[in-house]
Amino acid sequence: MNNKNKILVNLSVPSIERSFDIFIPTNKKIGTVKSLIEDALIRISDNVYIKRDDTNIYNRTTGNVYNVNTTIRDTDLKNESRIMIM
């Protein structure tokens, strides 16, 4: 994957009071990325993070919710964007 195919974002996870800088692929849908992030959070947090169906990814600057069916490249996300999962 070259640099055009991924972006570096800051992810805030209020439920476990942590944040992470992560690379996400621009050719995947928000829903796929959300699922991958949640699976990683479960492992990283020793099962403290709980995966839920009503979890969304939000833009931390605007508060807007990202549609799970939208591809990352078709959103306003770019390098250094700040997102939140809750």
CATH number at residue 70: 3.10.20.90
- pLDDT value for 41: 97
- The domain of 72 spans 3-85
Q: 26 vs 33, 76, 79, CA distance in Å?
A: 9, 11, 11
> What is the mean pLDDT for each group of 10 consecutive residues in the chain (86 residues)?
82 97 98 97 95 95 97 97 98
Instruction: State the Cα–Cα distance between residues 73 and 1, nearest whole angstrom.
Output: 15
- pLDDT value for 1: 42
Helix (H/G/I), strand (E/B), else coil: 16: helix
Structure token pair of residue 7:
């972006």
Its pTM stands at: 0.91
Please provide the DSSP assignment of 37-55 as one string: HHHHHHHHTTT-S---TT-
- pLDDT value for 17: 96
Residue whose C-alpha is closest to residue 12's, from 21, 23, 3, 4: 21
Number of domains forming the structure of the chain: 1
